[in-house]
Structure 1
Amino acid sequence: MRMLSKRQVKELVLYSPQHIARLEAAGKFPKRVQLGSNRVGWVEEEVLDWLRARIDARDASQDTP
């Protein structure tokens, strides 16, 4: 299992850290994992699954007339 840093998540999803935190709080983004007293990370596969779901939703909306 690979963990992503805040910087890596920001670069991957192209959202600001503040927006990522808002999505997390709303239950619309994978939750961070506390790795140490001053370190958090996200499970890479969970973030990639979230991105895939966004792509799938986009593709599904394009299929409907």
Structure 2
Amino acid sequence: MIERTSLSLTFIKRLRRDGNFPRAVPLGDRRIGFLEHEVSDWVASRVAMRPAA
């Protein structure tokens, strides 16, 4: 998700810890993934929060 959001891994971990990022999907031993549509929705919600120019 680093490429998709341009956020650092540390920041994504902080957002997840605080419940402000889509929930991870366990994929295997020490591996997680995210549902693309949930991340897209999250990005869209961030865009909607930006102030009008």
TM-score (norm 2): 0.88
Q: Percent identity?
A: 38
**Take 1:45 and 1:16, find their aligned partners in 2: how far apart are those partners?**
20
TM-score between the two structures when normalised by the length of structure 1: 0.74
Q: How many residues align?
A: 53
Whichever structure has more helix as a proportion of its residues is 1
Whichever of the two has the greater Rg, that structure is 1
1:46 aligns with 2:30: no
Q: Runs ≥4 in structure 1, deviation > 6 angstroms? A: none
Structure 1: unaligned runs, 5 residues or longer: 1-8
More relative contact order, 1 or 2 (CA 8 Å, 6+ apart):
1
Whole-angstrom distance in 2 between the partners of 1:15 and 1:21: 10
Please report how far the alpha carbon of residue 38 of structure 1 lies from its aligned counterpart in structure 2 after TM superposition. 2.7
